[in-house]
Amino acid sequence: MTITAPAATAPVSTVTTDPDRGHARAAGIFYLVTFAASFPALFLIGPVLNDHNYILGAGQDTRVLWGCLLDFVNALAGIGSAVALFPVMKRHKESLALGFVTSRTVEAAVIMIGVVSLVAVVTLRQDLAGAQGTDSAALATVGRALVEVRNWTFLFGPGTMPAISAILLGTLMYRSRRVPRFMPIMGLIGAPLLLTANILTVLGHNTQLSAWSGIATVPVALWELSIGLYLTFKGLKPDSLNQ
């Protein structure tokens, strides 16, 4: 009788890959891009915002246009962060996930209105300032009006929509427990503070540059920064729906 040795079996691999890692990393990078683009943009467009007669003067057009370009990048990155997370978050509540994408898209659209307004100021300054027959007073009024349009878009766009996004994504992240819970709590606490400050600004009882506005902005800003860093370097916690 012939005895045969049992066939060797290949070791079973215990290494698993996270199917959501790519989405999380992309969303985190997009969040960090919004920070990397928005703060330099605010500095670069400073001359046109602070000089009421910018449209009549020598101008710093190249600097302002670079700032507008960074704001454009900021707008696209905001949409990218929501689109990257949508396939993951829709498993927990599709209506909230879709609302998050919509809120980021609205924010980007409003930002772009402000960008176009400032580009229009630069164009009018280059084409009409100092030209023969130009009504300087009327041109200055148009320039100030366009800057005010940008100021209001800043309030309703990146000033307000992040609060709506924080409520939507914060609720999703809090319920799903896919990030440390203190992070969405920051967003959920900061959102009503920011909304209240902005409503008071619209009603004339506050200003965008007041101390109250600055304090109300901090929790939502920390929420977005923390979620960007966490998603980029750590990813999402395991999905309880798949366990």
Token pair 């990155």 in the structure block, residue = 77
Structurally, how many domains does the chain consist of? 1
Classify residue 225: in a domain, yes or no.
Answer: yes
Q: What is the mean pLDDT of the chain?
A: 91
Classify residue 2: in a domain, yes or no.
Answer: no
The residue segments making up the domain with residue 143 are: 21-233
State how far the Cα of 208 lies from the Cα of 105, in Å rounded to an integer: 22
Classify residue 195: in a domain, yes or no.
Answer: yes
Assign residue 102 a region: left if phi > 0, alpha if psi is -120 to 50, beta otherwise? alpha
State what percent of residues in the chain have pLDDT above 70: 91
Classify residue 36: in a domain, yes or no.
Answer: yes
pLDDT, position 88? 95
pLDDT, position 58? 82
Classify residue 1: in a domain, yes or no.
Answer: no
Q: Are 128 and 140 in contact (CB under 8 A)?
A: no
Nearest to 232 by CA among 75, 17, 21, 80: 21
Classify residue 131: in a domain, yes or no.
Answer: yes
What is the pTM (predicted TM-score) of this model? 0.88
Classify residue 224: in a domain, yes or no.
Answer: yes
Strands annotated E in 110-190? none
pLDDT band per the 50, 70, 90 thresholds, residue 232: very high
3-state secondary structure of 183: helix
pLDDT, position 234? 95
Nearest to 183 by CA among 223, 218, 217: 223
Classify residue 82: in a domain, yes or no.
Answer: yes
pLDDT for 61-94, tens place per residue? 999 999 999 999 999 999 999 999 999 999 999 9
Torsion, Cα 233 17 169 173, to 10 degrees, reads -90
pLDDT for 189-221, tens place per residue? 999 999 999 999 999 999 998 999 999 999 999
State how far the Cα of 96 lies from the Cα of 169, in Å rounded to an integer: 7
**Higher-scoring residue by pLDDT: 115, 15:** 115
pLDDT for 128-184, tens place per residue? 877 777 788 999 999 999 999 999 999 999 999 999 999 999 999 999 999 999 999
Of 8-12, 75-79, 159-163, 222-226, where does mean pLDDT reach its minimum? 8-12
User: In the numeric block, which tokens belong to residue 13?
Assistant: 């691999």
